[in-house]
Structure 1
Amino acid sequence: MDPKSVERWITTNRTPHRGHRWKAASFLGVDEVYLWPTVEKRAETASTSELVTYYPHRGAVPASLWSSLIEQASDQVEILVYAGLFLFDSHPDLPDQLADKAKAGTQVRVLLGDPDSPMIRQRGEEEGIGDDLAARARITRRYLEPAAQTPGVEIRLHDTILYNSIYRFDEDVLVNPHVLGAPAGQNPVLHFRYIPGARTFRHYMRSFDYAWERGRTA
């Protein structure tokens, strides 16, 4: 974040763009309305306000939505999965897109399951695909290797018990809950959009940060 921009926010009482507000508030560990009280706490802070829509399974998410979220992201792209191979298979240029975005200043963080961890082996057994899940995680990691050479693209491995896959693009996040015994693709997807003062978006992103801090460099 540019120190001169921060100085202007303070000296001119300027309210920055929402993406910058989110980054500053996240860095300081506070809600953005604490830093900028003039930001309206809308009535949409009700429990369902952030929910854009619900999909009964991952295949029901329109391909056009994935594409538009990827293309329009300019501040942050954050992905937490075991493999997430479907996204790279359906968007073969995604590694290049992530690298280009990082060069333009977008923060890109991707967390993949450690294929050698007992957690990913257990999940593979629970989903009925055995070692295939670990193999898929290795393929995704291989896809991302060229992009990982770009400053601003960070790839880490995790060995957590993953309750949700998370796909964050700026102020939109797609959450794919994991249902015991079912592959991720058969489970629902929830589309949330960040609203100042509301809770759900920030709740899931804190979960991402928790996993990120415990991950290791790929």
Structure 2
Amino acid sequence: MTLWPKSVRSHVKTGHDREIIAAYPFRSAAPTSLWASLIDGASQNLAFAGYTNYFLWQQHPRLGARLKAKADAGARIRFLVGDPESDVTRKREEVEGVPLTVSTRIKITLDALEKMGECRGVEARFSDQHIALSVFQFDDQMLVTPHIASLLGDESPMLHLRRLEDDGLYDRFAGHVTALWESSRPIEL
């Protein structure tokens, strides 16, 4: 016996895909207001596991002050970036072949974090294991960008997810960030 006719099942998400709120063919196709609402709406856990995280500082005015206020209110904020001196970073720079190098973009993020000053609740670490996948976590929502070959991050697709079940898409990507964090090297800001 089928409770949901095929026509309804084809228009209503009933499986694991219901955690997908939206899909964008390019990260840059997602409105800046989406990022702002996720950043501003999160109060407990924010993780920025992008290899450079560079674009955040360019697109969000006063991001450092906004994050510092969240940390002061008790939020845990983590930045996972690539090591600007690593072989992985150098190889990626060769692939991209653009004037604003990967190492420079990482250093812009490190500089912005340093300008925030010492702030309990804000941590940063180096990892080269997430070169092909960026995960940005905002409490029970996240944005995930699987990077495509030689394209820049903003040219790769992005998924907007909301946690709805145990071991669903959200939990799988959150586990990925946790594993990367645990194997990464602390950065002294």
Q: Deviations over 1:80-135 (max 9, x none)?
A: 01112111111131111111101101111110111001111112222222771111
SS at match of 1:48: helix
Deviates more, 1:155-164 or 1:198-207: 155-164
User: Alpha carbons of 1:45 and 1:152: their partners in 2 closer, same or farther (altered >3 Å)?
Assistant: farther
Which ranges of 4 or more aligned residues in structure 1 deviate by more than 4 Å? none
| Amino acid of the structure 2 residue aligned with 1:97 | R
User: Alpha carbons of 1:198 and 1:213: their partners in 2 closer, same or farther (altered >3 Å)?
Assistant: closer
| Amino acid of the structure 2 residue aligned with 1:166 | V
- Percent identity, aligned pairs only, is 35
Q: TM-score, normalised by structure 2?
A: 0.87
Please say if 1:163 is aligned against 2:132: yes
Question: In structure 2, how many angstroms separate the alpha carbons of the residues matched to 1:150 and 1:89?
Answer: 21
1:186, distance to aligned residue in structure 2 (A) = 0.4
* Structure 2 spans left out of the alignment, 5+ residues: 1-12
User: Alpha carbons of 1:105 and 1:161: their partners in 2 closer, same or farther (altered >3 Å)?
Assistant: closer
Residue 158 (structure 2) aligned to one of 181, 184, 189:
189
Tell me the equivalent position of 2:61: 92
| Amino acid of the structure 2 residue aligned with 1:106 | A
Matches within 5 A, 1:74-93: 74-93=43-62
* Structure 1 spans left out of the alignment, 5+ residues: 1-43
Question: In structure 1, how many angstroms separate the alpha carbons of the residues matched to 2:101 and 2:132?
Answer: 19
SS at match of 1:64: helix
Q: Deviations over 1:10-37 (max 9, x none)?
A: xxxxxxxxxxxxxxxxxxxxxxxxxxxx
Question: In structure 1, how many angstroms separate the alpha carbons of the residues matched to 2:91 and 2:61?
Answer: 29
1:53 and 1:192 in contact (8 A); partners too: yes
1:196, distance to aligned residue in structure 2 (A) = 2.7
User: Alpha carbons of 1:172 and 1:201: their partners in 2 closer, same or farther (altered >3 Å)?
Assistant: same
1:147, distance to aligned residue in structure 2 (A) = 2.8
Tell me the equivalent position of 1:144: 113
1:82 and 1:120 in contact (8 A); partners too: no
2:45 and 2:77 in contact (8 A); partners too: yes
Task: Let me know the Cα RMSD of the aligned residues.
Answer: 1.8
Relative contact order higher in (CA < 8 Å, ≥ 6 apart): 2
Q: Deviations over 1:28-77 (max 9, x none)?
A: xxxxxxxxxxxxxxxx7712110000011011101111111111110110
Q: TM-score, normalised by structure 1?
A: 0.76
Please say if 1:120 is aligned against 2:85: no
SS at match of 1:92: coil
| Amino acid of the structure 2 residue aligned with 1:205 | A
